[in-house]
Structure 1
């Protein structure tokens, strides 16, 4: 490879200096990639909200409660991401979900993102930009507000 040449393949990519650099996002402040602490805080708020709302439909001790909670969680995500720019938990900790292409997030991205997120595993697999598999597939990124 020529010393000053730009990388041409994925394996030739240089490591980024901060999460989101390759996406054109700032290192810190508004618009920077959300870090782990805020992500976990937002997720805990969202899951607690889903658990409380699920209690309106099913008793806590029932088997149905274990199924209703993730459904409520998913519905809340799909409703609030396109309308508020993030879930209640995201907004409470100062985050928002944006498409990589810019503009409005739309409806299909939150649906895809949430469907994958409910399976949990995609959220545990991150790239160097700290984007989970669910965000990569949906073409979105969780950033600071």
Structure 2
């Protein structure tokens, strides 16, 4: 007799998500700084974050920070990367910050609920 897991996967902890966001933010500021040096990157960091985070999440399901912290973002319906359109909306909501801090009744963050995504621990090794 085989047993299979039933129910939704557990979500990644707020600490791991926040640490991954911090890593991604620093990396994006460094990339933006390459183009604005010697001036600080300012708003260019946000522009780099918008493009890079959207691409990484939409195409691969994880950003460099998420990979380092062993978490990934997946579509709740199919467990696959969410695609560029939903990733763009999710990234804009993260930049606004408040949706990323609000928790829904099922334990997900509001920006994940809106985009049909879920951030889970990476069990792929």
TM-score range, shorter chain: 0.7 to 0.9
Shift of 1:61: 4.3
Aligned with residue 90 of structure 1, among 37, 41, 66: 66
Shift of 1:98: 0.5
The TM-score with structure 1 as length reference comes to 0.72
Equivalenced residue count is: 116
**Distance verdict in 2 for CA 1:53–1:25, change over 3 Å:** same
Shift of 1:60: 6.1
The TM-score with structure 2 as length reference comes to 0.83
| Runs of 4+ deviating beyond 6 Å | none
Q: Which runs of 5+ in 1 are unaligned?
A: 1-23, 27-31
Partner of residue 21, structure 2: 43
Q: Which structure is larger by alpha-carbon Rg, 1 or 2?
A: 1
Partner of residue 25, structure 1: 8
1:106 aligns with 2:83: yes
Distance in 2 of aligned mates of 1:44 and 1:104: 21
Q: CA RMSD in A?
A: 1.9
Q: Residues 80-119 of structure 1, C-alpha deviation per residue, up to 9 Å, x if partnerless?
A: 1133221111111001101111144222111110011111
Name the structure where helix makes up a greater proportion of residues: 2
Give yes or no for contact 2:59–2:81 (8 Å, CA) kept in 1.
no
Q: Which runs of 5+ in 2 are unaligned?
A: 1-6
**Distance verdict in 2 for CA 1:43–1:104, change over 3 Å:** closer
